[in-house]
Amino acid sequence: MILFDSFLIYAALAGLGVAIAAAPLGCFVVWRRMAYFGDATAHASILGVALALSFEISIFAGVLIVALLMAATVSTLSNRGYAMDTILGVLAHSALAFGLVAVSFLQGVRIDLMAYLFGEILAVGLLDLIVIWAGALLVLSLLWWRWSALLTATLNPDLAYAAGIDPRREQLVLTLALALVVAVAIKVVGVLLISAMLIIPAATARPFAGTPERMAVMAAAIGGLSALGGLQLAFAFDTPTGPTIVCLAALLFTLSSVTTLLFRGPSA
């Protein structure tokens, strides 16, 4: 096997950590139709990178702060006249554009923009690994703790209220988890492909799951498989790692869809 070098072990563990945190959260993104929301938060994080570099704070902190600000902005602007996808379309791409411009202003800092746009999993160090797994475990425990309330609020806000659950608080929990995932995933898959790690494994798992819990567990397994397999493929074919991981996830999604079409008919 090729996974003997320590940087490869770090890379594998980093990919696995991001995948198993992103996939269950991604189920909520899919169920609540928040795909664009994930995009907006992720794209804004390049602005966080610029801020982190200019104020010399950690990238993780910079990204987390900007992702949270972005999420708060989206929540505030929703229901104010524009359709949600319009607001998110505006915010996602302008945040990315402002981020890229801000990075170009940084004097004397040589940064590899590609590394933040598409990730650089092979450069993950021990400290990064600790941050990634701490973040991933935090996201998973948040989801575990709020699971029933989150599901109820996802089904219908009024059902949640009648059961004494405040759906706005659950929305906040999801937002927080999303910002955390973006902050830990930036090193692994980069800002442009984070949404893929959220959505593709969840969508792949959907036809085979009968309950929300099974869908979340299967999504995590599919995400983990994509991360480890993608890493190996990238090593074998000398391709960029982040995109290779996403390509493998997309292939699995295609396989899942085709299988469903062939064996269960289009309605499944």
Partner 1 sequence: MSLVTLQDLTIRHSGNPVLTNVNFTITKGEIVTLVGPNGSGKSTLLRAVIGALRPNSGQVIRAPGLRIGYVPQKLHIDPTLPLTVRRFLSLPTRVPNSMADQALDQAGAGPLANRQMSRLSGGQFQRVLLARALLCNPQLLILDEATQGLDQPGSAAFYQQIETVRQQLGCAVLMVSHELHVVMAASDRVICLNGHICCEGEPEHVASAPEYRALFGTGTQGALALYRHEHNHSHDSDCDHHSHEAAE
Which residues contact partner 1 by CB under 8 A? Answer: 30-33, 148-149, 151-152, 154-165, 202-203, 206, 209-212, 214-215
Tokens 């400290």: give the residue: 127
- When the beta carbons of 14 and 142 are compared against partner 1, the nearer one is 142
- When the beta carbons of 137 and 163 are compared against partner 1, the nearer one is 163
C-alpha R_g of the chain: 18
- When the beta carbons of 107 and 211 are compared against partner 1, the nearer one is 211
* Closest CA relative to residue 37, chosen from 189, 219, 175: 175
- When the beta carbons of 108 and 164 are compared against partner 1, the nearer one is 164
Distance CA 21, CA 6 (A): 23
Per-residue HEC secondary structure of 211-242 comes to CHHHHHHHHHHHHHHHHHHHHHHHHHHCCCHH
* Closest CA relative to residue 92, chosen from 44, 126, 56: 44
> For residue 216, which amino acid is it?
A
DSSP 168: H
- To partner 1, the closest distance from the beta carbon of 34 in angstroms equals 11
- To partner 1, the closest distance from the beta carbon of 251 in angstroms equals 20
* Closest CA relative to residue 252, chosen from 229, 235, 232: 229
- To partner 1, the closest distance from the beta carbon of 218 in angstroms equals 10
- To partner 1, the closest distance from the beta carbon of 90 in angstroms equals 22
- When the beta carbons of 137 and 159 are compared against partner 1, the nearer one is 159
- To partner 1, the closest distance from the beta carbon of 80 in angstroms equals 11
The first and second tokens of residue 170, run together, are: 């659950």
- To partner 1, the closest distance from the beta carbon of 8 in angstroms equals 35
* Closest CA relative to residue 85, chosen from 37, 44, 157: 37
- When the beta carbons of 93 and 168 are compared against partner 1, the nearer one is 168
